[in-house]
A and B are shown apart, each in its own frame.
Chain A
Amino acid sequence: DVKVTQSSRYLVKRTGEKVFLECVQDMDHENMFWYRQDPGLGLRLIYFSYDVKMKEKGDIPEGYSVSREKKERFSLILESASTNQTSMYLCASRMGQGARYGYTFGSGTRLTVV
């Protein structure tokens, strides 16, 4: 089975800090995604990458950036953390863009910004 690993389950950071959330997948998937999940708002797409060094904005990219230097790793960067970025962050990957490919999600990182 594909495994998507998020480096931290829980993080507490201070306002203004630069925060890195790391995600690694082990099955040579082309596409990777970052979502955030908030009560009442559901899952929202922040950024995605369909290949190494490629990235596209999702629905809510403001305040975030991403990096994909290697195929297996996709990092989400909070340039200057703010309290409204307190959320559950979920990373996902997918083999490719065909209709037969589904998404595999990691176990999530619960980020609290104080």
Chain B
Amino acid sequence: KQEVTQIPAALSVPEGENLVLNCSFTDSAIYNLQWFRQDPGKGLTSLLLIQSSQREQTSGRLNASLDKSSGRSTLYIAASQPGDSATYLCAPAGQNSGGSNYKLTFGKGTLLTVNP
């Protein structure tokens, strides 16, 4: 059974700092990994998707890396802004028990606060 751990659980930084969020997973047989952002009381917004054959993906100030063999992914946020404050969720996708689909398993998330 896939287990996903995100460290730290919470992080508070001053505006402008670069920061790294960590995600580890126990089963390396994944097809891809997505990073999501969730604002309080809202749904999930997809930030980046890394396929298992890729090492990293970039979008604007965000860069996500994947080391599938060691079961790790990181999300790097450059020049953080107060608008980046949210919960960030990591979700590797692996085959479900029936073999018919790719199942997402979520971590508990990292609550990021960027202070002005």
Known contacts A48-B101, A50-B100, A102-B32; A42 and B43 CB within 8 A of each other: no
Interface size on B, residues (CB 8 A): 28
Chain A residues with CB below 8 A from B72, complex form: none
Pick from A88, A99, A105: contact of B36, CB below 8 A. Answer: A105
CB neighbors of A among B35-58 (8 A)? 36, 41-46, 49, 51-53
Inter-chain contact A103/B98, CB cutoff 8 Å: no
How far in angstroms is the closest Cβ of chain A from B25? 14
Pick from B41, B52, B98, B109: contact of A110, CB below 8 A. Answer: B41
A4 to B46, CA, bound (A): 12
A108: nearest residue on chain B (CB-CB)? B43
B45: nearest residue on chain A (CB-CB)? A105
A107 to B104, CA, bound (A): 18
Q: Name the residue in B31, B52, B104 with the highest tally of chain A Cβ atoms < 10 Å from its Cβ.
A: B104
B36: nearest residue on chain A (CB-CB)? A105
How far in angstroms is the closest Cβ of chain A from B105? 9
Chain B residues near A (Cβ < 8 Å): 31-32, 34, 36, 41-46, 49, 51-53, 89, 91, 93, 96, 98, 100-104, 106-109
18 A–B contact pairs at CB < 8 A? A40-B108, A42-B107, A42-B109, A43-B106, A56-B100, A90-B43, A99-B51, A99-B52, A99-B53, A100-B32, A103-B104, A104-B46, A105-B43, A105-B46, A107-B43, A108-B41, A108-B42, A110-B41
Chain A residues near B (Cβ < 8 Å): 4, 6, 31, 33, 40, 42-43, 45, 48, 50, 56, 58, 88, 90, 92, 97, 99-100, 102-108, 110
